[in-house]
Each structure stands twice: as C-alpha cells, then as structure tokens.
Amino acid sequence: TVRICLFTRDLRLADQPVLHAASAAGRDEVLPVFVSDPAVTAAGFAAPNRLAFLHDCLADLDRELRARGSRLLVRHGAVPAEVAALAADTGATEVHMAADHSAFARAREASLLAALAPLGVRLVTHEAVITAVAPGAAVPAGSDHYAVFTPYLRRWSGVPLRRPLPPPPRLRTPAAPVSDPLPPRPDADLLSPQLAPGGETEARRRMQDWLTGHLDAYADEHDALADDLTSRLSPYLHFGCLSATELVHHARASGTAGAQAFERQLAWRDFHHQVLAARPDAARHDYRPRGDHWREAPDELKAWQDGRTGYPLVDAGMRQLRAQGWMHNRARMVTASFLCKTLGIDWREGAAHFLSLLVDADVANNQLNWQWVAGTGTDTRPNRVLNPVAQAKRYDTDGAYVRRWVPELARLSAPAIHEPWKLPAALHAELGYPDPLVALDAASARFRARRGLD
Ligand code: FAD
C-alpha cells in the first residue's frame, strides 16, 4: 500500500503524527509530498522572508528524509489537483495531512476532499499537529471557543497531551514519480539581512540551546528588550520545524518558573488558533467591533513602517522587524499600540506590514495579536494605550535596545535617549533624528474621543 503524507506547515520528522500514520510505522510505502501552491501567494502569505525560510525547511526535510531512505516530492500547482494526480499515479489509497483551521486551510481541505473522492482515496486529517491542544479540544460550556485567555489557560493546562513521537528510523518510498525542484530561495536583496535560517535541524539545535541555557531565566527576563532572552523559536513553530507538543513536554519536565512562563506563551499560541478556528472571519473583521473610525494617514503610516516616528522605542522595533524579519514581543506590542491607538490607523494596515516581513507571521497569531492590541480582539482591557516613553524606560532602562537599532541615537545615554526631543535644540538637530510625529497627550485625547470614553 502507498500512502501520501502531505506536508503543509508541519515540516519536521520528530513528533510528526502525520508521517507516522502515513507510513504505518514503517511497514508500508509512504510518499512525502509538499505542494507549492500559487493560491498561497495570491492570498498574500508568500512574503520573501517566509519563502526563504520555507526553502530552508524543505531542503532540510528532503535531506533528513533521504538519510532515512526516502525523499521529499515537490509539486508546483494547486494542492487538490496535484495531490489527486499523485494519488492516481502511485495508486495511493490514503492522503494524510495536519488539520488546520484558517478559512484558507479549510477551503483547501474541502477542495482536496472533493478531488480525492472520485478516485476512492481517503483523506485523513490529524489534529494537534500544528498546535499542542487542538482547537475545539478545550471549549467552555455552551460555546465553541474561549474568548478570554485566563480561563482558556486553566482548561488548556488540563488537556492530556500526546507523547511526542520519535523521528522514523527508516521509511519506504516508491522510486517514481520524480520531484519538481524546490521553490526557489528569493534573492538576498529582497530579504531581511539578518534573517534566521530555517529547517528542523537548525530548530532542534536552537531548542536544545534554549532549554539548557535560557529557559530558567525566562520568567524574569522575557520583557527585557536589550537582553533578547526569549526563545526566538516562533518561526520554527510557525513552519512546524518544532512540535508545540514536544516543547510543552520539555517545559513541564524542567519544572522551573521560567518553564511555566514559557508554557503560558505556548498556550497563547493555541488560544489564538482556537479563536480563529471558531471565527475565521476575525482574520479580516473586528472580533469585537468598537465603532472605531480609523484615520487615513499615509505619511504617518509610512513613517511608522520606516521606523521614523520620532519615538525611539517604536522606531527601534520597526527597524528590528526590517533587519531581522522578527521583533521582540514587547516591541510588537508597543509599535502596534502606537499605530492603532496613538496614530489611530487601522490595525489591518499594521498587520499587513508585519505579514510582509515577519518570518513567524501566521493568520492566527498575527491578526489576533493585532486585534488584541487594537482593542477589537480578546483583550479584557481594550482601551489601554501603551505609552512608548514609559514602556521604553521600563523595558529598555539603559537604552541598549534603542542604541542597537537606531544608530542616530547611539551616543545618547538613558533616559535622554528615550526622549531626544528634550535635548537642547542644537544637539537634537545634529542627531538627524525626526521630531515626534504626534504629541502623546493630544493623541491620547483623540483616542478617548474616538472610543467615546469621556
Ligand atoms: P517566546 O517568548 O520565546 O515564546 C515562545 C513561543 O510562544 C513563541 O515562539 C510563540 O510561538 C508563542 N507566543 C509567545 N507569545 C505569543 C503571543 N502573544 N501570541 C501567540 N503566541 C505567542 N507570534 C507569532 O508567532 N506570529 C505572529 O505573526 C505574531 N504576530 C504578532 C503581532 C503582534 C502585534 C503582537 C503583539 C504579537 C505577535 N506575535 C506573533 C506574538 C509574539 O510577539 C511572538 O510569538 C514572539 O515575539 C516570538 O518570539 P519568541 O519565539 O522568542 O517567543
């Protein structure tokens, strides 16, 4: 028997339930397949940074499969047509894939099911491959999802997890058909210069390093911008180079306060996925409309995108995003709050810019974190506004994060570095750094008026 293992964003061999089921634990033949589908590009998800990372992931997966007597078969085209053609060519009886819950993923699954049915080929989807706890596996009475994180976390923590599966030792794969080439890696000039390399091998190296070297300190240090002590595993989780289930097991086994805090962040990831699964429209529409009248302000939007708002912490975050295709969570919160609440620009504009650069960007985590910050999502305090100066003084106390990303300010020390407009005019003029785009007091008054809070 031949079964197809259709990889999507579960690009790994360790703790890989889809491959495990498709290979029937090594007895039958398995055809590992990845389809590079133009629909992904058309839907706006194929930013150069992510395409480069994906290329690395697929190259690594192919290498690791070959080391086990198998290989990755790549096709370019629409998933339903390509997979159906492969099933017909190889006489495959089943196609296995990870369950995924965005509107895009569901439509893809439905079309694949329709394409396979006339061939008599069964489509088997596997839950809890992309998240540790499947959407729908932790729901409150009378609803299809949790709208508030804390009760979700309590419930999530009690859901029994699968034991992580070891990578398969050997696999049997039919010799035909031949693979198309991997989707190309975009030219370097289109990419963030400090983009992390993709792939499971790199992911596991980073995970080991993180678990042994830094996890302990995470509870105390995760908000310290300059120290950069978070795991940076988000891109590897996004592409499934690492299993969220395995990470939760490691965190639980370590039993430290840092591990508990880390596990909580992994629960946030599952939380947003279960909101999106229940409300796929939340990728585009306000989850909780607040009657916002967003401002059209293209020059201010551009200044924010370019990291030239005149608020050093905001600019540092935006420049880190461009340089690395990644941004520290605290900086994501401050830059997002600045765009939606201080400038009054629609969260969709910000989310689209993040999507064009973030290597870890996915619909659930990006769109729903944006909505959380904008106050149109699941935050129980939707009207709080993060003050970029106060946040800078608290989380970048000595200014090292700003100095790293905003070289115009590198010779300033804290706290002056966080409020350069307060410097003597001549000194400020020498810096070549913009004046603040808006005054915070006025912006905050405008926000309160927009939300009808006064
Ligand atoms: P760690 O602090 O080491 O956390 C471990 C893992 O937990 C992360 O890798 C991530 O998978 C998960 N996680 C942590 N915080 C969150 C969170 N708030 N929501 C969901 N999962 C979380 N994360 C993404 O993975 N993709 C996105 O597109 C994304 N967009 C965001 C947009 C905004 C406006 C904000 C405020 C946050 C966004 N986040 C997103 C969440 C968070 O910023 C990143 O997951 C985190 O910075 C990744 O760094 P890390 O791996 O070092 O995280």
CATH code where residue 17 lies: 3.40.50.620
> If you write DSSP's letter for every residue of 377-402 in order, what string do you get?
SS-SSTT----HHHHHHHHSTTSHHH
Check whether residue 142 and residue 121 sit in a common domain: no
Report pLDDT digits (tens) over 7-37.
999 999 999 999 999 998 667 899 999 999 9
Ligand 1: atom nearest CA of 362 is 28
Would you place residue 42 in the very low, low, confident or very high pLDDT band (cuts 50, 70, 90)?
confident
Residue 420 is given by DSSP the state G
- Report the C-alpha gap between 295 and 167 in whole angstroms: 51
CATH number at residue 206: 1.25.40.80
Is 141 among the domain residues?
yes
Residues touching ligand 1 (Cβ under 6 Å) are 222, 230-234, 237-238, 262, 265-266, 268-269, 272, 329, 332-333, 336, 354, 358, 360-362, 365-366, 369-370, 373
Same domain, 370 and 431: yes
Is 212 annotated among the ligand-binding residues? no
Residue 328 shares a structural domain with residue 446: yes
ipTM exceeds 0.95, yes or no: yes
CA 87 – ligand 1 centroid, Å: 37
Q: In this model, does residue 43 exceed pLDDT 80? A: no
CA of 365 to the centre of ligand 1 (A): 7
> What does the block give as tokens for 224?
């310290």
pLDDT of residue 27: 76
- 144 is known to lie in a ligand binding site: no
Q: In the prediction, which pLDDT does 316 show?
A: 98
Residue of the nearest CA to atom 23 in ligand 1? 365
Residue 304's Cα: distance from chain center in Å?
Answer: 21
C-alpha neighbours within 13 Å on the C-beta side of residue 407? 0
- Ligand 1: residue whose CA is nearest its atom 22: 269
Q: Are 55 and 105 found together in one domain?
A: yes
**Contacts of residue 298, Cβ cutoff 8 Å, sequence gap at least 6:** none
What residues have CB less than 8 Å from 394, skipping those under 6 apart?
none
Neighbours of 454 (CB within 10 A): 6
Structure token digits, residue 114: 């329709």
pLDDT in tens, 362-375: 999 999 999 999 99
Q: Which residues, in sequence order, are bridge partners of residue 122? A: 94
Residue finishing a domain among 247, 278, 309: 278
User: What distance in Å separates the CA atoms of residue 296 and residue 344, rounded to the nearest whole number?
Assistant: 9
Residue with tokens 């990419």: 191
Position in ligand 1 atom list of the atom nearest CA 272: 20
Token digits for 430? Answer: 């020498």
Distance of CA 326 from the midpoint of ligand 1 (Å):
10
Q: Which of 81, 111, 128 is the last residue of a domain?
A: 128
In a domain, 177, yes or no: no
Q: Is 37 exposed, middle or buried (0-12, 13-18, 19+ CB in 10 A)?
A: buried
* Tens-place pLDDT, residues 396-441: 999 999 999 999 999 999 999 999 999 999 999 999 999 999 999 9
Q: Which atom of ligand 1 is nearest to the CA of 328?
A: 47
pLDDT at residue 26 in the model: 67
> What single letter denotes the amino acid at residue 328?
H
pLDDT: which is higher, 319 or 254? 319
Residues 303, 445: one domain?
A: yes
Which residues lie closer than 8 Å to 201 by C-beta, 6 or more apart?
60, 63, 64
Mean pLDDT, range 264-272, rounded to an integer: 98
Quick check: helix, strand or coil at residue 122?
strand
91 belongs to a structural domain: yes
Q: How many domains, the chain?
A: 3
Q: Clarify whether residues 23 and 112 are in a common domain.
A: yes
Q: Are residues 438 and 374 in the same domain?
A: yes
- Residue 327's identity, in one-letter code, is M
Q: Is the pLDDT of residue 216 over 70?
A: yes
Query: So what's the pLDDT on residue 231?
Result: 96
Q: Report the pLDDT value the prediction gives residue 197, as an integer from 0 to 100.
A: 98
pLDDT reported for residue 25: 65
CA of 451 to the centre of ligand 1 (A): 27
- Same domain, yes or no: 240 and 319: no
Does residue 237 form part of some domain?
Answer: yes
Domain membership of residue 180 (yes or no) is no
Expressed in angstroms and rounded, the spacing between residue 361 Cα and the centre of ligand 1 is: 9
Q: Is the peptide bond before 407 cis (omega within 30 degrees of 0)?
A: no
Residue 297: CB atoms within 10 A of its CB come to 16
Closest ligand 1 atom number to CA of residue 232:
52
Neighbours of 7 (CB within 10 A): 26
Q: How far is the CA of 58 from the centre of ligand 1 (A)?
A: 23
- Got the DSSP string for 8-40? SS---STT-HHHHHHTGGGTSEEEEEEEE-HHH
pLDDT of residue 45: 78
- Clarify whether residues 242 and 314 are in a common domain: no
181 within domain boundaries = no
Can you give the CATH number for the domain in which 397 is found? 1.10.579.10
In which domain, by residue range, is 85 found?
A: 2-128
Averaged over 140-155, what is the pLDDT? Answer: 96
pLDDT band at 38 (very low <50, low <70, confident <90, very high): very high
Q: Is 232 annotated as a binding residue?
A: yes
Asked whether residue 441 falls in the same domain as residue 390, the answer is: yes
Q: Which of 72, 106, 128 is the last residue of a domain?
A: 128
pLDDT band at 41 (very low <50, low <70, confident <90, very high): confident
Do residue 376 and residue 401 come from a single domain?
Answer: yes
Residue 81 has which token pair?
Answer: 């047509």
User: Across all residues in the chain, what is the average pLDDT?
Assistant: 96
3-state secondary structure of 123: strand
* Chain segment 78-101, per-residue pLDDT in tens: 999 999 999 999 999 999 999 999
Nearest CA to ligand 1 atom 14: 265
Mean pLDDT of 278-301: 95
Distance 41 CA to ligand 1 centre (A): 23
**Residue 292 located in a structural domain:** no
What integer is the mean pLDDT of 125-148? 96
- The DSSP bridge partners found for residue 36 are 76
Positive or negative CA dihedral for 378, 379, 385, 388? negative
The closest residue, in CA terms, to atom 11 on ligand 1 is: 234
Same domain flag for 136 and 264 = yes
Structural domain includes residue 183: no
